Amino acid sequence: MRGWLLKRVPIIAFALCFVCGVHAGITQDFTFVQATDVHACSERAAETSPRVISKITTLSETDLASYGVKAPKPDFVIVTGDLTEFGGSDCWKRYLEYWENFPIPVHHLLGNHDTTWHAILKQLRETGREPWFSFDHKGCHFVGLTTATVQDPRPSIGEEQINWLKKDLSDISPETPLFVAFHHPIGKGEFASRYDYDRLLDVLRERNTILLIAGHSHKFVSEPFEDFDQITAGSTGYPTPGVALISIVGDVVRAAYLSNGGQTAATPIIEKKIPPKPVYAKTEIVWPKPRVTVGEILGIAAYTTTEVKIARATFTVDDSINGDLHIAGSPGRWTAAGWVDISSLTAGAHYLRVEFYANTSSNLNNGRKVGSRSAEFFYEPPDKPTAWRVYLGASTKCTPTVADGIVYVGANDGKLRAIDIKTGKVIWTVETGAEIVAQPLIVEGNVIVANGLGLVQAFSKTGKELWKFVAEDAVYSSPTLVDGKIAFGCNNGKLYILDPSTGTQLAINDDATYTIESKPFSIGGRVYYGAWDQYVRCVKASDGGLVWKQLGEGSLVQEAKRYYSPADAGPVVADGKLFVADRDYMLTIIDAETGERLDARKSVSATGLSEDGKFVYLRRTDGKLEKIDSSGKEIWSIFCDTGYIPAAPIEKDGVVYVASDLGMVSAVSAKDGKLLWRYQASPRLFVMSSVTSDGRLAYVTSFDGMVTAIRCDRAADGTSGLQLSP
């Protein structure tokens, strides 16, 4: 791509994909607008965003002053995320008002501000839109992706999107110029790992990808990543309000920033020639095959189809084990092969990246990269810790539920699956219509599941629908059982209490003024829940009446009070005291009877309750798993690389299970904090669910689309540990 670049200036790095066609396929010159980071409902953007957006309608032919050319009148607008400040229906409505009766098409992508506190996926769908899309325009194909994670501020590229993108591009010529748009720039540290966006780049390298278009940074700059030209386009809100004009004239694409609703785009971002075909060589990993299981020695074989002489080929495993490969072949097809001892890795999921380099100078320094590919594989050591894996084809935050020999798990593709615990075979699948984030609940043998459309359904053990209830907004809060009833929160701030046999609403609490995301906790006829309005509440299960409410510690001490609410990690109650973590990673301790604030401590992202209800497990941000009694006294502490994800540690049969942010599962003795075993459940992609166990197997989901069953009869040294009963 560098060979085609005329002038290297700032470019966009978020995940939107535009595929444009070969030179001959572009039917005529055109311009489109990239707007981003609108932040509707933000005080800082209240005047600037609507003013800048309204000015787009006045644009005709626009002077790209720094390039000395005129850009045609814009044909459409793409908005690359952070449409709102805190998500929610009201801010979404205000945002749409900015674009009301707009004379040209507008395509909307979600950012982290749209999906963290009150994800507006439901509201987006109600307008007939989806969170990712594609369209063709004057010989070009455009694709928009969502890098924002549902109800979480961290970016991710969902497995379901990768699969959708492959299918979307399958009928398009590889020579077609491709533009890709999304919110979070590629190459930044917010993603789980390099592999997270490598999965996307592997798809795009096979295409004539012209530009990656991103937002998030509020900067209008070029931020190339390796061979990809990437730009970000400032913000309509602040600190320098404006939009980017991206113009294709002949075989040259130019982007410039139009500040403060002006008529001249004076700030250059990028100018480059559109190549006639992909500039990146087709590269494939022949071995290991995707998601194959290997032993202690990993054989590696790959090829690339470039006419350039290859001087070096390298590999990396998890970006920690690196080496060179042996090169063979000739121009047109080069091969690379080798092997590496991976016995030092933790059992489980890992990823490999192979890269080919051309020698472009006397000082090699790897040379110019001309081919790259990555693949997930599974390492299975001699003690064979993996019982089975199921590829869901979609990322998931859903904690599995196990009952009567079946594991129930939902995913971001909207499907609920029932899996046989003995064989790992999917028994049945039902389509619910939207992402399933909430953990399924088993009541009298039936499974109750909620989704992002607000649909709560009960299914029999055979997958037959028994009843359904439609809440007013998305339900990402896991249902819990209280006095024979089910209780769950909703993104409209309401706590619903239903009859589990019929789905009939029995009571409701509507005291919260913003999203209830986390799983409520129930004990003694009361339900405790946190919300994104700063408060944790106690209500009566009988009628939903409010007993008390108390500020979370983060909301008490921080200025941005809503942001630090006790809302994404569920509360627990031990010995009459409530423990709840918040987004400021503060632990608030409250008298469960009266609501009186008793104490607080730092560096806690989630809490879990011991099986006997007497102790609390703290998931700490310093990487430790800690057991405390109800007075706050430490019983034991062990480093488990826990991180900041608000997923609760779970105890089963005297063993505590917790997964790190990047999928390292630790099994720890509840008695003394001794490490029993570890397992890598994802290839350094996010694991945002808790680990479930039935005592024989531990079950965990991850963002690579996998649900994995791990044997519990293991020891930290790899020898046989706890014995399974026959």
Amino acid 263: pLDDT = 78
Give residue 188's Cα distance to chain centre.
14
* Co-location of 225 and 301 in the same domain: no
- pLDDT tens for residues 107-124? 999 999 999 999 999 999
Amino acid 366: pLDDT = 53
Percent of the chain with pLDDT over 90: 88
Q: What is the CA radius of gyration of the chain?
A: 26
Residue 550 forms beta bridges with which residues? 536
Are the C-beta atoms of residues 384 and 391 closer than 8 Å to each other?
Answer: no
CA gap 378, 346 in Å, rounded:
10
Coil, strand, or helix at residue 348? strand
Amino acid 25: pLDDT = 61
CA gap 169, 541 in Å, rounded:
51
Domain boundary, last residue among 220, 242, 273: 273
Q: Is the pLDDT of residue 522 over 90?
A: yes
Confidence of residue 65 (pLDDT cuts 50, 70, 90): confident
Q: Identify whether 668 is part of a domain.
A: no
Burial class (CB in 10 A: 0-12, 13-18, 19+), 382: exposed
* Co-location of 174 and 35 in the same domain: yes
CA gap 69, 249 in Å, rounded:
9
Q: How many domains does the chain have?
A: 2
CA gap 696, 719 in Å, rounded:
16
* Co-location of 246 and 151 in the same domain: yes
- pLDDT tens for residues 138-189? 999 999 999 999 999 999 999 999 999 999 999 999 999 999 999 999 998 8
Question: Given the DSSP bridges, would you call strands 62-64 and 675-680 parallel, antiparallel or unpaired?
Answer: unpaired
Taking residues 51-68, report their average pLDDT: 92
Taking residues 70-78, report their average pLDDT: 95
Q: Is the pLDDT of residue 571 over 80?
A: yes
CA gap 680, 685 in Å, rounded:
10
Are the C-beta atoms of residues 486 and 461 closer than 8 Å to each other?
Answer: no
Amino acid 261: pLDDT = 66
Residue 5 forms beta bridges with which residues? 272
Q: Is the pLDDT of residue 18 over 60?
A: no
Neighbours of 452 (CB within 10 A): 25
Structural domain of 96: 2-273
Q: Identify whether 86 is part of a domain.
A: yes
Q: Is the pLDDT of residue 4 over 50?
A: no
* Co-location of 268 and 328 in the same domain: no
CA gap 349, 363 in Å, rounded:
36
Are the C-beta atoms of residues 514 and 566 closer than 8 Å to each other?
Answer: no
Give residue 331's Cα distance to chain centre.
40
Q: Identify whether 366 is part of a domain.
A: yes
Taking residues 569-574, report their average pLDDT: 98
* Co-location of 153 and 287 in the same domain: no
Domain boundary, last residue among 273, 298, 330: 273
Amino acid 22: pLDDT = 39
Confidence of residue 715 (pLDDT cuts 50, 70, 90): low
- pLDDT tens for residues 349-408? 999 999 999 975 544 445 688 999 999 999 999 999 999 999 999 999 999 999 999 999
Taking residues 502-517, report their average pLDDT: 97
Taking residues 494-508, report their average pLDDT: 98
Residue 144 forms beta bridges with which residues? 16, 181
Furthest C-alpha separation in the chain: 79
Amino acid 280: pLDDT = 86
CA gap 500, 480 in Å, rounded:
11
Q: Identify whether 142 is part of a domain.
A: yes
CA gap 30, 72 in Å, rounded:
6
Q: Is the pLDDT of residue 20 over 80?
A: no
Q: Kindly report the CA angle at 110 between 643 and 150, in degrees rounded to 5? A: 40
Distances (CA, A) of 648 to 184, 557, 569, 716: 27, 24, 7, 22
Are the C-beta atoms of residues 432 and 416 closer than 8 Å to each other?
Answer: yes
- Determine which helix (DSSP H) or strand (DSSP E) holds 117, and give its type and residue range: none
Q: Is the pLDDT of residue 723 over 80?
A: no
Are the C-beta atoms of residues 4 and 279 closer than 8 Å to each other?
Answer: yes
* Co-location of 331 and 267 in the same domain: no
* Co-location of 125 and 33 in the same domain: yes
CA gap 377, 290 in Å, rounded:
6
Tokens (6 digits) for 242: 């404006």
* Co-location of 22 and 110 in the same domain: yes
Amino acid 552: pLDDT = 96
Q: Identify whether 368 is part of a domain.
A: yes
- Determine which helix (DSSP H) or strand (DSSP E) holds 364, and give its type and residue range: none
Confidence of residue 260 (pLDDT cuts 50, 70, 90): confident
CA gap 83, 80 in Å, rounded:
8
Q: Identify whether 360 is part of a domain.
A: yes
CA gap 132, 455 in Å, rounded:
21
Give the list of residues 6+ apart from residue 126 with CB closer than 8 angstroms, or none.
none
Are the C-beta atoms of residues 176 and 19 closer than 8 Å to each other?
Answer: yes
Crossing angle (nearest 10°) for helices 194-204 and 159-169: 10
Q: Is the pLDDT of residue 721 over 60?
A: no
Amino acid 607: pLDDT = 98
Give the list of residues 6+ apart from residue 129 with CB closer than 8 angstroms, or none.
108
Amino acid 356: pLDDT = 96
Q: Which residues of 511-533 are buried (b: 16+ CB within 10 A; e: fewer)?
A: bbebbbbbbbbbbeebbbbbbbb
SS (H, E, C) 657-686: EEECCCCEEEEEECCCCCEEEEEECCCCCC
Are the C-beta atoms of residues 617 and 609 closer than 8 Å to each other?
Answer: yes
Are the C-beta atoms of residues 87 and 118 closer than 8 Å to each other?
Answer: yes
* Co-location of 296 and 253 in the same domain: no
Q: Identify whether 82 is part of a domain.
A: yes
CA gap 146, 183 in Å, rounded:
7
Taking residues 52-61, report their average pLDDT: 93
Q: Is the pLDDT of residue 725 over 60?
A: no
Q: Is the pLDDT of residue 594 over 70?
A: yes
Contacts 24+ apart (CB under 8 A), 501-505: 501/444, 502/467, 503/456, 503/458, 503/466, 503/467, 503/468, 503/469, 505/469
Taking residues 410-424, report their average pLDDT: 98
- Mean pLDDT lowest for which of 25-34, 264-273, 577-586, 614-623? 25-34
Q: Identify whether 135 is part of a domain.
A: yes
For the sheet with 505-509, list strands across it: 480-482, 485-489, 495-498, 505-509
Tell whether the torsion through CA atoms of 615, 520, 481 and 710 is positive or negative.
Answer: negative
**Domain at 322, CATH number:** 2.60.40.650
- Ranges of beta strands (E only) in 152-251 are 177-181, 208-214, 220-222, 230-233, 242-249
Amino acid 3: pLDDT = 32
Per the prediction, the chain carries an average pLDDT of 93
Amino acid 243: pLDDT = 96
Q: Which residues of 663-691 are buried (b: 16+ CB within 10 A; e: fewer)?
A: bbbbbbebeebeebbbbbbbbbbbbbbbb
Taking residues 432-448, report their average pLDDT: 97
- pLDDT tens for residues 277-318? 998 889 999 999 999 999 999 999 999 999 999 999 999 999
Q: Kindly report the CA angle at 629 between 627 and 635, in degrees rounded to 5? A: 45
* Co-location of 12 and 91 in the same domain: yes
| Torsion angle of C-alpha atoms 90, 541, 401, 535, degrees rounded to 10 | 40
Neighbours of 474 (CB within 10 A): 30
Domain boundary, last residue among 358, 379, 400: 379
Burial class (CB in 10 A: 0-12, 13-18, 19+), 142: buried
Q: Is the pLDDT of residue 720 over 60?
A: no
* Co-location of 288 and 265 in the same domain: no
Amino acid 714: pLDDT = 75
| Torsion angle of C-alpha atoms 286, 287, 290, 293, degrees rounded to 10 | 160
Supply the pTM of this predicted model.
0.93
**Domain at 76, CATH number:** 3.60.21.10
* Co-location of 265 and 179 in the same domain: yes
Coil, strand, or helix at residue 709? strand
Taking residues 397-422, report their average pLDDT: 98
